[in-house]
Amino acid sequence: MKRARFNSLVALCMSDGGIGRTAGTRYIHFTNKSNTLLSLFEKEIRKFSDAKIHKQQKERGITLRVFDKNLVSEMLKISPSFRTKACDNFPRCICECHKSKSKCKECIYIEGKKWPLARIKKSFFKNKKQICSFLKIYASCDGYPSLFPRRDSWSKVERIVAIVSYHPLLKKQISSLLDKLGIEHKIKKDGLFMRSRSSIKKFKDQISFIPGVKMTGNSKYWQHLTKNQVLRIILDSYSKKIAEITLVKCRLPVKPTEQGSDEA
């Protein structure tokens, strides 16, 4: 199979999914509350497998599981692991070094902390179009736009587009992809952050979010809007007065035109 066909599925599994193991059998899984993202996962699975998609309702969303040995094998050729949590984080990863307490080929030690080898082969991305497609899905799952008033700062309003990632290898790779697109960003412990007007504009023009994906419950003010709508509000805010921006942020008056299509 051509690896480029796996672009979307890899992005889904690297963000809110992964490859799990039960009773010695590996399976592909994805958990989310967004029907848009859950439908996308099912669509991508059907490109490669006719296996049953098992559904389970959980507190953090619906979990979809697919038991397909051949598909798992193909995915592991792209990345040695799809686990992005540190090995000792719950649930602890299942690898050789957990049993023998010695180093193994499945993990890497970074600054004294053990991480699974979650990294995509450099040859996986052939062009900028594939990079943008991957980042669009990844950011839709594990990313967000944010606009909020600030106190005791040179700027009265904070504007951010973030791509969340804690895994050192994956975070470095995502940073490299953003560099190839010419998008300035800062790398921090919990992800990559775009704060300037030019970087947020480039993110919108080249990547944006999947239409229909809404802000999560972690957002204090913007839960009822899609991520693309908030992204547009952020860019529109540069041409408005600070007082108006703060009011929009706190009161959320959304015009009918903003509630329509969220195509970026």
Segment 151-210, tens digit of pLDDT: 766 667 889 999 999 999 999 999 999 999 999 999 999 999 999 999 999 999 999 999
- Using an 8 Å Cβ cutoff, are 7 and 35 in contact? no
The answer to whether 247 and 191 are in contact (CB under 8 A) is: no
What is the pLDDT, as a whole number, of residue 59?
A: 87
Backbone angle region of 13, left / alpha / beta, with phi > 0 → left and psi within -120 to 50 → alpha: alpha
The pLDDT value given to residue 240: 66
Per the model's pLDDT, the better-predicted residue between 200 and 223 turns out to be 200
Give the pLDDT score at 101: 54
Report, in this order, helix, strand and coil percent for the chain, each rounded to 5. Answer: 40, 20, 35
Query: Has residue 65 got a pLDDT over 70?
Result: yes
- Region 92-120 average pLDDT: 74
| pLDDT confidence of residue 264 | 31
**Domains of the chain, each with CATH number or no CATH:** 3-82+118-122 (3.10.28.10), 125-259 (3.10.28)
**pTM metric for this prediction:** 0.87
18-41 pLDDT per residue, tens: 999 988 899 999 999 999 999 999
Distance CA 164, CA 219 (A): 14
> Interior CA angle at 135 toward 129 and 138, to 5°?
145
Select the more confidently predicted residue: 7 or 217. 7
**DSSP string for residues in 3-18:** GGGGHHHHHHHHHTEE
Position 248 scores a pLDDT of 54
Beta strands in the chain (DSSP E): 17-22, 25-32, 53-58, 61-66, 107-110, 113-116, 143-149, 157-164, 186-188, 191-194
What integer best gives the mean pLDDT of the chain? 86
